[in-house]
Structure 1
């Protein structure tokens, strides 16, 4: 689906959150690759499960027409600095929920970009009778994200023990978090 774009001004930084367009595909591919290399909070290491421009063009095209999918980008001065994506399921038993993920360039943390991507997604979900948003694999050490998700109505629904191996060679737990809107 497509939402109306919205401008934000946080700590003297102005950015726009809007739906992704096919013309963003190359930049989204590069953005995702960079974000994956900046933090271990993501599922992938840099270059893993790489999606090229053509791949993102297809994803964005599908997300634009599918009523239970939403692909958003955060843009500042013509540069993409963050993204989020919701993907629904057409199976009748799961039609009420979507899976969610997001990423923001490390240099733009602290400007509410992740929070505003989440808020726009929650608003879209509520307006479109999506009852549940699920976050899989929230790293237990990502305390700021967990705090943010809780403030936005998410709860920890499960713990995946030793779910991820990070660069230090140690195993880490991840949380499954969900937000249910009656």
Structure 2
């Protein structure tokens, strides 16, 4: 379990940008489950630093990092839209280095995201997408009350070019 290792969960800071990019690259090499996002390997570090500062200063967006021995080993985020009609929806994302799968760290991160989201008083719905083949992640989300709303056929493509189904899952938090 996550309690057996010394993990610090904290908000990401601009100075974490380089490590976040490196960890994202490594996770991308370890699994095809990761969906590339704006913390991806192609973003210039100075732009990521600016983005991390904006997220850190935001009251309706959050990026957490999991740190072991001063090294980032994963991240978890909630993002919202600036569009008023959908600003109550938080999009959840979690990624961990493969060495940290199956020890409860995903549960710890998801619980932190959910607690924070409830405390904002603004976010009313959490949603995420997950590849149908990622059974471990689906189990985690279901354990925390997320329900499948839709199956997006050919919602992603695998490393070998095959199409993969993706689930849209959500949880109401108010």
Note whether the superposition's TM-score is higher than 0.5. yes
Q: For 1:84, which of 50, 73, 76 is the aligned residue?
A: 76
Q: 2:20 aligned with 1:58, yes or no?
A: no
Per-residue Cα deviation, 1:37-62 (whole angstroms, up to 9, x for no partner): 11010124xxx762232122112111
SS at match of 1:163: strand
Shift of 1:141: 0.6
4+ long deviations beyond 3 Å: none
TM-score of the pair, normalised by structure 2: 0.91
Q: 2:168 aligned with 1:147, yes or no?
A: no
Per-residue Cα deviation, 1:103-154 (whole angstroms, up to 9, x for no partner): 1001111222221111100000011121111102x10010010010011111
Q: CA RMSD in A?
A: 1.7
Shift of 1:167: 2.7
Say how many residue pairs are matched.
171
Say whether the 8 Å CA contact 2:153–2:166 is kept in structure 1: yes
Say whether the 8 Å CA contact 2:25–2:41 is kept in structure 1: no
For residues 1-182 of structure 1, the aligned pairs below 5 Å read 10=2, 12-44=4-36, 50-129=42-121, 130-136=123-129, 138-182=130-174
Say whether the 8 Å CA contact 2:22–2:41 is kept in structure 1: no
- Could you tell me which runs of 5 or more consecutive residues in structure 1 were left unpaired when the two chains were aligned: 1-8
TM-score of the pair, normalised by structure 1: 0.87
- Could you tell me which runs of 5 or more consecutive residues in structure 2 were left unpaired when the two chains were aligned: none
